[in-house]
């Protein structure tokens, strides 16, 4: 059974179908990419899967459980966790404290308890785990820095660390290398690979940088106007006439 099974999912805004009768499966341990030109429905699909938006129709099953009508917090508690463009929970908190707050919230204490009322033993346990996450991500040296002072690449890495604090089983990465320079992109690409090889994580990735997508994804689903127009491995996708036509004139499509 697939870890994530999406069947005939649509999302309408008025009379416009942002996602249109989409079906796809993500196997355990897979890195799956979702690509498409601007306006293809990628962000809407991510919002529907993560529970930020309810689907207009169709079914989403995660690890054998239907989650189509669950809210985002309940879906995250099941282990289906996403990153966001705005990466830090608290820009005036340290990097370490951001990850610790995410750990406390995963422990279902709520925001107030996460920031103010956690017990000493829980704080110590979560600090140990937060430091382990930062070491994995490569931010241990910036643990005491304010989140707002991090360079852009480290901001994006912090977003992944915050997501890891929620103990995901399937991690949804929303444009993880957006705005990065080549060195930062290369480092994030290595991190994505390590999430699978060292942590055994399943990853669903939306990204405009085609070099990153082609370099890390085993299977790629291509959307255009909310519909799936192609699916397959990187080589097949890069040579698919329908994909090339959809991206015609788009500078960001280059395998």
Structural domain contains residue 197: no
Choose among 7, 11, 22: nearest CA to 60.
Answer: 7
How does pLDDT run across 125-149, given as a tens digit for each residue?
889 999 999 999 999 999 999 999 9
Backbone angles phi, psi at 5, to 5 degrees: -125, 115
Edge-first strand listing for the sheet containing 202-206: 80-82, 170-174, 202-206, 31-35, 219-224, 227-232
Classify strands 227-232 and 219-224 as parallel, antiparallel or unpaired.
Answer: antiparallel
Residue whose entry in the numeric block shows the structure tokens 């890495």: 157
In the chain, which stretches have pLDDT less than 70?
Answer: 85-89, 105-120, 248-255
How does pLDDT run across 23-61, given as a tens digit for each residue?
999 999 999 999 999 889 999 999 999 999 999 999 999
Choose among 73, 139, 75: nearest CA to 102.
Answer: 73
Whole-number pLDDT of residue 104: 73
Structural domain contains residue 169: no
Backbone angles phi, psi at 122, to 5 degrees: -70, -40
Whole-number pLDDT of residue 199: 94
Whole-number pLDDT of residue 144: 96
Q: Which two tokens stand for residue 99?
A: 């990850």
To the nearest 10°, report the CA torsion of 231, 236, 237, 241. Answer: -100
Classify strands 4-13 and 57-62 as parallel, antiparallel or unpaired.
Answer: antiparallel
Whole-number pLDDT of residue 84: 73
Structural domain contains residue 99: no
Whole-number pLDDT of residue 110: 46
Planar angle of CA 18, 21, 27, nearest 5 degrees: 105
Structural domain contains residue 241: yes
Whole-number pLDDT of residue 107: 58
Structural domain contains residue 38: yes
d(CA 55, CA 72): 13
Structural domain contains residue 104: no
Say how many domains are in the chain. 1
Whole-number pLDDT of residue 231: 97
Domain span at 233: 1-79+209-255
Structural domain contains residue 63: yes
Whole-number pLDDT of residue 106: 63
Q: The domain that contains 61 carries what CATH number? A: 3.40.50.300
Using CA atoms, how far residue 198 sits from 193, 195, 201, in Å, is 8, 6, 8
Cβ-defined contacts of 15-21 (< 8 Å, 24+) = 17/226, 18/44, 18/226, 19/44, 19/45, 19/48, 19/55, 19/226, 20/225, 20/226, 20/227, 21/58, 21/227
Structural domain contains residue 187: no
């Amino acid at each position: 059974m697939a870890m994530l099974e999406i069947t005939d999912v649509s999302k309408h805004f008025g009379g416009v179908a942002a996602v249109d009768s989409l079906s796809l499966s993500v196997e355990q341990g897979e890195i799956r990419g979702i690509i498409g030109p601007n306006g293809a429905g990628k962000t809407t699909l991510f919002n529907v899967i993560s529970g930020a938006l309810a689907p207009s129709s169709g079914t989403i099953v995660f690890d054998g459980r239907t989650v189509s009508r669950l809210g985002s917090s309940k879906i995250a508690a099941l282990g289906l966790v996403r990153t966001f463009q705005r990466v830090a929970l608290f820009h005036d908190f340290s990097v370490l404290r951001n990850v610790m707050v995410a750990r406390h919230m995963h422990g279902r204490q709520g925001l107030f308890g996460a920031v103010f009322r956690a017990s000493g033993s829980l704080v110590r346990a979560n600090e140990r785990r937060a430091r382990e996450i930062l070491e994995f991500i490569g931010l241990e040296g910036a643990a005491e820095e304010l989140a707002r002072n991090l360079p852009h690449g480290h901001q994006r890495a912090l977003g992944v660390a915050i997501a890891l604090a929620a103990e995901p089983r399937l991690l949804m990465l929303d444009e993880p290398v957006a705005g990065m320079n080549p060195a930062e992109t290369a480092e994030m690409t290595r991190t994505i690979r390590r999430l699978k090889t060292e942590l055994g994580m399943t990853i669903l990735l939306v990204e405009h940088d085609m070099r990153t997508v082609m370099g890390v994804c085993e299977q790629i689903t291509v959307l255009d106007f909310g519909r799936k127009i192609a699916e397959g491995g990187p080589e097949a996708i890069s040579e698919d006439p329908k994909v090339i036509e959809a991206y015609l004139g788009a500078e960001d499509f280059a395998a």
